[in-house]
Amino acid sequence: MKLLIVSSSQREGSQSAKVAQYLYDNNKDFNEVSHLELCRYALPFWDGESQTKSQDSSTWPFISQQVKQADALILITPEWGGMASPLLKNFLLMCDNQDTAHKPALLVSVVSGISGAYPIAELRMNALKNNKLVATPDHLIIRNVIEVLNAQAITSERDKSLRERIDYSTHMLHQYAKALFSIRQQHSATPFPKQQEYAYGM
């Protein structure tokens, strides 16, 4: 099983990338893990035209290949003004449902304070309709992120509890990845008649 971690702060060296690195380093279930820090790539602004993805400077073909090979995704967004990152939403608009459909996604919100719920609600409500990613029931909100998941030893009970919650959430993501893999195989082997008429959610 292959896991793709996507961190979507628009600034390099972000707390979102730190969380992604923690998830990468502490993976216990997936055989292969990769991390895409979106701000380090030339991602064109999606305008609805497929040729936009392959502009001369675009690194989308590489990113798309990473998405296609993944069996599960972790989508990490900072909370900016109560919203998910524009970079993540642009990424999700560009994803082809041929590469993402029926793959599980763990949603992670990162915030310097005590909020963080709004990006999760936003992503659940309107970010997964057409790419057909399947958000797992569990999600993670990393509050007061500067104080937790740092390289040094565990610093508080909250830090310890959060790490344990992450272990559980990623373990369950792996279970969903295995289950949905068989669904994708069946879907490919015995497609629903005229299934392309239903490529987009209602």
DSSP state of 108: E
pLDDT digits (tens, 9 = 90+) for 161-174: 999 999 999 999 99
* Dist. CA 69–CA 82, nearest whole Å: 32
pLDDT bracket for residue 191 (50, 70, 90): confident
Q: Which residue has the higher pLDDT, 193 or 112?
A: 112
pLDDT bracket for residue 57 (50, 70, 90): confident
* Dist. CA 126–CA 147, nearest whole Å: 31
Q: What's the pLDDT score for residue 180?
A: 98
pLDDT tops 80 at residue 152 = no
Q: What's the pLDDT score for residue 157?
A: 95
pLDDT bracket for residue 200 (50, 70, 90): confident
Ranking 69-73, 87-91, 95-99, 121-125 by mean pLDDT, the lowest is 95-99
Average pLDDT over all residues of the chain: 94
181: exposed, middle or buried (Cβ count in 10 Å: 0-12, 13-18, 19+): middle
> Which architecture does CATH list for 2-188?
3-Layer(aba) Sandwich (3.40)
Q: Which residue has the higher pLDDT, 44 or 134?
A: 134
Query: What value does the mean pLDDT take over residues 95-110?
Result: 96
Q: What's the pLDDT score for residue 182?
A: 95
* Rounded alpha-carbon distances, angstroms, from residue 21 to 74, 89, 111, 179: 12, 21, 16, 26
Contacts of 122 (CB under 8 A, 6+ apart): 83, 84
Nearest Cα to Cα of residue 41 among 70, 25, 64, 21: 64
